[in-house]
Amino acid sequence: MKFSTKAEYGLRALVNLAQQDGYYSLSQIAKEEHISLAYLERLFAKLKKAEIVISQKGVKGGYKLAKPLNKINVREIFEALEGNLSPYNCDCLNLNSLCKIDCTCNIKVVWQKLEKEIIKTLNSISLKDLI
* Cβ-Cβ contacts under 8 Å for 73 (sequence gap 6 or more): 122, 123, 124, 125, 126, 127
pLDDT in tens, 39-92: 999 999 999 999 999 999 988 899 999 999 999 999 999 999 998 877 676 655
Report the predicted TM-score, pTM, of the whole model to 2 decimal places: 0.82
- The number of distinct structural domains making up the chain is 1
Q: Which pLDDT score, from 0 to 100, does residue 115 have?
A: 87
Identify the domain containing residue 91 by its residue range: 5-130
Candidates 85, 66, 116, 63; CA nearest to 7 is 85
The CATH number of the domain holding residue 105 is: 1.10.10.10
Q: Which pLDDT score, from 0 to 100, does residue 101 have?
A: 54
Mean pLDDT for the chain? 88
